[in-house]
Amino acid sequence: MAHGQGRPCVITRRACFSASHRYWLPELSEQLNIDRFGACSRAPGHGHNYELIVAMAGVLDGDGMVLNLSDVKHAIREQVTAPLDFSHLNGVWPAFDVDRPEGALPTTEWLLHTIWGRLAPHLPLRSLRLYEQPTLWADYLGNAMEAFLTIRRHFAAAHRLARPELSQAENEAIYGKCARPHGHGHNYLLDVTVRGTIEPRTGMVCDLAALERAVEELVVEPFDHTFLNKDVPFFAECVPTAENIALHIADRLQAPVAALGANLHKIRLQESPNNAAEVYAEPALV
């Protein structure tokens, strides 16, 4: 018997393809399409280098594998990359044909939902992730029309970690170098993940452009190139650790995301390559 035989395990496989798409609904006027989808409505479309992460669950067999990787590669190639690579997505599969009542735009989340439907008969899927670009990706777990959408943004800011009621020596004992009087800076990476139901016509869990505007207006613009302790009123009284910053961002975004018809799921704030904090706005789902 091989070591670990019968033990549960999750494996992942990465696959890439290049494709173009266009956001345009025939029932909307030209101006309404432009207003709704912006630059994504331009003809004949635009392209991306997509990266697909396929997670599969199973138990280890006598050969020490969950699945034969040759079979995995063949299924992904046959069902996904071969038909999609160097294609115009709107015309590839019926699910993306918006001239049909049941068709939807080939958004990241609807594309991922459709890929799941093609791979599920062949592989024991656990989850799928699809990167449309490094700052935009979706996750799908096989839950009907529910999907997760993540956008990544950046801001640069300085902070000092210190509690005003403590002495400098006491603060340095807690926060180390981060308590030095004149502060220090970071290039923060912010990931905002929302959860929602894929709208059957637009293929979106929420209006992506509106989500991007909310994050820009409520977080990036007021936080970028600031000294957080002095320029953001909230942090005059709250120590701006990565954890507290992430919590404050979640509080600022929860209502605006709900107004878009989605749920704020998670905030991830990366302070440096070595440090990051994650805050779940939906604790029941953790």
> Which of 113, 133, 153 marks a domain boundary?
133
* Contact in structure between 54 and 15 (CB atoms under 8 Å): yes
Task: Say if 7 falls within a structural domain.
Answer: yes
Instruction: Indicate whether 39 and 69 sit together in one domain.
Output: yes
- 211 within some domain: yes
Task: Summarize pLDDT for 45-89 with one digit per residue, the tens.
Answer: 999 999 999 999 999 988 888 899 999 999 999 999 999 999 999
Domain assignment present for residue 169? The answer is yes
176: left (phi over 0), alpha (psi -120 to 50) or beta: left
81 in a structural domain: yes
User: Of 107, 133, 159, which residue constitutes the final position of a domain?
Assistant: 133
The reply to whether 159 and 126 lie within a common domain is no
Q: Is residue 138 part of a domain?
A: no
Give residue 6's pLDDT. 76
- Are 259 and 164 found together in one domain? yes
Q: What's 52's domain CATH number?
A: 3.30.479.10
Judge if 11 and 81 occupy the same domain.
Answer: yes
Alpha-carbon gap, residue 209 to 136, rounded angstroms: 12
Q: Are residues 184 and 276 in the same domain?
A: yes
8-state DSSP, 272: E
pLDDT confidence of residue 133 = 96
Residue 183 belongs to some domain of the structure = yes
Point out the domain boundary residue: 81, 110, 133: 133
Q: Do 207 and 81 share a structural domain?
A: no
In a domain, 107, yes or no: yes
Question: 3 with 126, same domain?
Answer: yes
257 and 281 in a common domain: yes
**102-127 tens-digit pLDDT:** 999 999 999 999 999 999 999 999 99
Handedness of CA 79, 82, 84, 87 (dihedral sign): negative
Q: Indicate which residues carry an active-site annotation.
A: 178, 225, 271
Query: Is 115 found in the same domain as 158?
Result: no
Do residue 96 and residue 203 come from a single domain? no
Q: What is the pLDDT of residue 285?
A: 52
Kindly provide the b/e burial profile for residues 241-268, where b requires at least 16 CB atoms within 10 angstroms of the residue's own CB.
Answer: bbebbbbbbbebbeebbeebebbbbbbb
Domain ranges, residue 153: 143-286
**pLDDT (tens digit, 0 to 9) for every residue of the chain, 286 residues total?**
456 677 899 999 999 999 999 999 999 999 999 999 999 999 999 999 999 999 999 999 888 888 999 999 999 999 999 999 999 999 999 999 999 989 999 999 999 999 999 999 999 999 999 999 999 999 999 999 999 999 999 999 999 999 999 999 999 999 999 999 999 999 999 999 999 999 999 999 999 999 999 999 999 999 999 999 999 999 999 999 999 999 999 999 999 999 999 999 999 999 999 999 999 998 655 4
Same structural domain for residues 85 and 203? no
Q: Which residues contact 152 (CB under 8 A, 6 or more apart)?
A: 134, 135, 136, 189, 190, 191, 192
Domain count for the chain, please give it.
Answer: 2
279 domain-assigned: yes
Phi, psi of 241, deg, nearest 5:
-65, 165
- Pair (165, 253) in one structural domain: yes
Q: Which residues touch 85 (CB under 8 Å, ≥6 apart)?
A: 17, 18, 19
